[in-house]
A and B are shown apart, each in its own frame.
Chain A
């Protein structure tokens, strides 16, 4: 009996072999794929936070009930954010190819996938910021205004502080969503764990390898969610 392989039943009655030797053989590739997934997230998510936060604050401020209502400008930017958000990721990936080439000089590989990921993530996070802030209610803003706070002070010292737990939860949700988006990058040779799963699991019918990739994704999502929930709870003093 061969202890290094386990036979798994599949729905169509054929057997998929989960072969440990094959996994060991592919280990270096798995590491590279994991590293690529991390690279995508580590670039796209921080840029989305860095640019999405001011965009979200701006959306809130300009809204009819915001700190500096500018309904007409708000409607335009609001529409723009919605437009980017309504693109299915795969379509966006293709639609902005010229822009991607302009930014990173190539349209394939991990670097090329980071561009559409980031473009998608910025308005995604901006919406979160806008909603988290507007849900705080008017009370704390009025108190700050009565104390003679400026708009900048209200944003920095009141709104962002009060919205922090919700923002941490939003970052967690965004990261989990983008782990899945980054996997779609496999379709255009973008690298990462999703790409790995498609190349070995789908194109070469190595179901065992596919399963391993899925397990790694599950572990990654669980780890992100666990850390995110912890951070958010620690920040919430209500």
Chain B
């Protein structure tokens, strides 16, 4: 469904030149949930934004459902984007529009006639169980509800692909589970190809079929999550091993406890 070929994305010029994505090629199967994991600054968000050309790659090609996007005209690209939904870490909902108006806006952009919009909007809201919040403004909703509204907004045009940029990084652990459950259910029932960028291995373990590990702009390793079941499996790279262990290990120095008795005695 998604094929990325030799993508490279560079920012800035001269001394400030910075390559966020380095020669990445990736193949994401239709209907799968593909995770992209890495630390901050690894280039995973840039790579995700390369898929819908929110960030144009400096070189390389992007195929979504057989269509090469980088060569399209602006209006053709807009048309293709109606087939690619996206959700964000900070939801990016319009504060001055209700939940329903936020979702409906996507249909408006897609040129869906007004009569049809209302019905499809309510349908999308009921997929995320928020039909009762249709007339609420984002300011009146919790973080988890806002993310669900943004999922409904992304889904309402019935896209083939859903891009998720750190969708659970701004919500608490319980809400994370709920958001992932919706994404998983939607993937299963609608067969929508889902790409999810995160720095949390727990998220990948919970939802992804396959994962790409990124470091310094490059994909350093890829594996299927099912292989984690095999006892002999071990990631090749140190970062891959580190990420799947998902433990916080500190180098704790011995405490320099002041010896009060001695201090008192000295006085």
Contacts and interface: CB of A to CB of B under 8 A. Distances in A.
Interface of A: 139-140, 142-150, 153, 157-158, 161-162, 164-165, 235-238
25 contacts: A139-B88, A142-B54, A142-B92, A143-B92, A143-B93, A143-B150, A144-B105, A147-B81, A147-B105, A147-B157, A148-B80, A148-B110, A149-B78, A150-B75, A153-B109, A157-B109, A161-B96, A165-B96, A235-B96, A236-B96, A237-B138, A237-B139, A238-B96, A238-B137, A238-B139
Contacts of A143: 86, 88, 92-93, 150
B88 A144 contact: no
Contacts of A158: 94, 105
A162 B94 contact: yes
A139 B92 CA distance: 5
Contacts of B86: 143, 146-147
Interface string B34-78: 000000000000000000101000000000000000000001011
A161 B106 contact: no
B92 to A, nearest CB: 4
B107 to A, nearest CB: 9
Contacts of B75: 150
Contacts of B79: 148
Give the interface size class of chain B.
Answer: 20 to 34
B72 to A, nearest CB: 12
A148 B139 contact: no
B75 to A, nearest CB: 8
B205 interface: no
Contact of B105 (A139, A157, A238): A157
Contacts of B52: 146
B88 A237 contact: no
B81 A146 contact: yes
**Of listed B80, B84, B96, B157, residue having the most chain A CB within 10 A:** B96
B82 interface: yes
Contacts of A162: 94-96
Contacts of A236: 96
Contact of A142 (B88, B96, B97): B88
B29 interface: no
Contacts of A144: 105, 109
A147 B109 contact: yes
Contact of B96 (A139, A149, A153, A164): A164
A140 B93 CA distance: 6
Contacts of A235: 96
A237 B105 contact: no
Contact of A148 (B81, B92, B96, B97): B81
Contacts of B80: 148
A150 B78 CA distance: 7
Contact of B92 (A140, A149, A164): A140
B133 interface: no
A146 B97 CA distance: 18
B108 interface: yes
Contacts of B120: none
A62 B75 CA distance: 20
Contacts of B95: 162, 237-238
B22 interface: no
A144 B97 CA distance: 14
Nearest to A164: B96
B84 to A, nearest CB: 7
Given A139-B88, A237-B137, A147 B82 contact: yes
Nearest to A163: B96
B3 interface: no
A170 to B, nearest CB: 16
Contacts of A147: 81-82, 86, 105-106, 109-110, 153, 157
A237 B136 CA distance: 10
Contacts of A237: 95-97, 137-139
B38 to A, nearest CB: 21
B139 to A, nearest CB: 5
A161 B78 CA distance: 21
Contacts of A148: 77-82, 109-110
Interface string B83-120: 01110101011111100000001101110000000000
A22 B54 CA distance: 70
The 3 closest A-B pairs by CB, nearest first: A148-B81, A143-B92, A139-B92
A150 B95 CA distance: 20
Given A146-B86, A147-B82, A148-B110, A140 B105 contact: no
Contact of A161 (B92, B97, B110, B137): B97
A144 B81 CA distance: 10
